[in-house]
Amino acid sequence: MGLTLKEKKQLALDDPATTIHHGQIIQSKPFLKKLYIEWYGFLLNKLKNNQLPKEGDIVELGSGGGFLKELYPKVITSDVMELPGNDLTFSAEAMPFEEESLRAIFMIDVLHHIPNCEAFFTEAQRTLKKGGYIILSEPANTIWSRFFYQNFHHEPFKPESKSWKIPSTGPLSGANGAIPWIVFERDIDLFHQKFPQLQLQLVQYHTPLRYLLSGGMSYKSLVPGWAFGAVTAFEKLISPLNPYIAMFQLIEVKKI
């Protein structure tokens, strides 16, 4: 029997060539690239403001086809897939770093793809220095984001899930976009119970419109690169509505 259409789409999604193509898309779309630069700023601003331990490495998980190293050459880029340009290939559930050796772990849209995020948090608690951070940008669970993710996005989004685990079908096809909300909002007391050295510092909703207007990885951009400042200003104007309309959330967790 041949592969079903669903299986073919899943195979393509998990093909390293797809991730490489995503990186090319980001570089070719000025509006989208500016958005990624802003998201990389979640980490870079911590460095600029001396909010991280002075010693130790900074690792980005799920670097994919991203370009953080262009902005901060010292970062260790990594992915679960072998990809050109990344420094290391490993699973977030078993990281090849010594105890208390990392200043920060940075992730964009990665947590909700890790099959067993508890194993990752165990590793993060082990490898982070005291005062070190996990900095994540992940899908938000708002009225608007649920409507979009559950009706127009290829990844599952199941806030009703009782489990923190997801099927390990592949590095990108395996997902539950609601995992960040489940762990850091619905089950935050359980998270602190399981990982007493990891303390949630911030959940900040962001970006209700710009990623959609950029076309993301699948569609043509609806706005030119020069409009980024104006659309950003509009998002700031409506930011009081972010708990209802944001597509993403910035999460910061500190090792105490």
d(CA 142, CA 129): 33
Q: What is the DSSP letter of 74?
A: T
- Strand order of the sheet with strand 198-206? 88-89, 76-79, 57-61, 102-108, 128-139, 248-255, 198-206
Q: Tell me, what's the pLDDT at 2? A: 46
Residue pLDDT, tens place only, 162-194: 999 998 888 888 899 999 999 999 999 999 999
- The rounded percent of the chain whose pLDDT value lies above 70 is 96
Residue ranges per domain, the chain?
5-255
* CA angle 116–117–123, rounded 5-degree value: 105
C-alpha to C-alpha distance for 213 and 48, rounded to whole angstroms: 29
The per-residue pLDDT for range 117-159, each reduced to its tens digit, is 999 999 999 999 999 999 999 999 999 999 999 999 889 999 9
**pLDDT computed for residue 12 by the predictor:** 81
Of residues 4 and 237, more confidence is placed in: 237
Mean pLDDT, rounded, for 186-210: 98
| Summary mean pLDDT of the chain | 94
In this structure, the number of other CB atoms found within 10 A of the CB of residue 4 comes to 9
Residue 10: what pLDDT? 52
Please give the average per-residue pLDDT across 4-8, as a whole number. 43
* pLDDT recorded at residue 228: 98
pLDDT at 170: 82
CA distance 148 to 157: 10
Tens digit of each residue's pLDDT (9 = 90 or more) over 48-86: 999 999 999 999 999 998 999 999 999 999 999 999 999
**Does position 8 have pLDDT exceeding 80, yes or no?**
no
* Axis crossing angle, helix 228-237 with helix 30-48, rounded to the nearest 10: 60
Asked if residues 61 and 105 have their Cβ atoms less than 8 Å apart, the reply is: yes
pLDDT at 217 over 80: yes
The second-level CATH assignment, the architecture, of 5-255 is 3-Layer(aba) Sandwich (3.40)
pLDDT given for residue 11 in this prediction: 52
Q: Which are the contacts of 247, defined by CB distance < 8 A and separation ≥ 6?
A: 139, 140, 142, 144, 145, 148, 207, 208, 209, 211, 212
Residue linked to tokens 């930011």: 239
28, two tokens: 């070719």
pTM for this one? Answer: 0.94
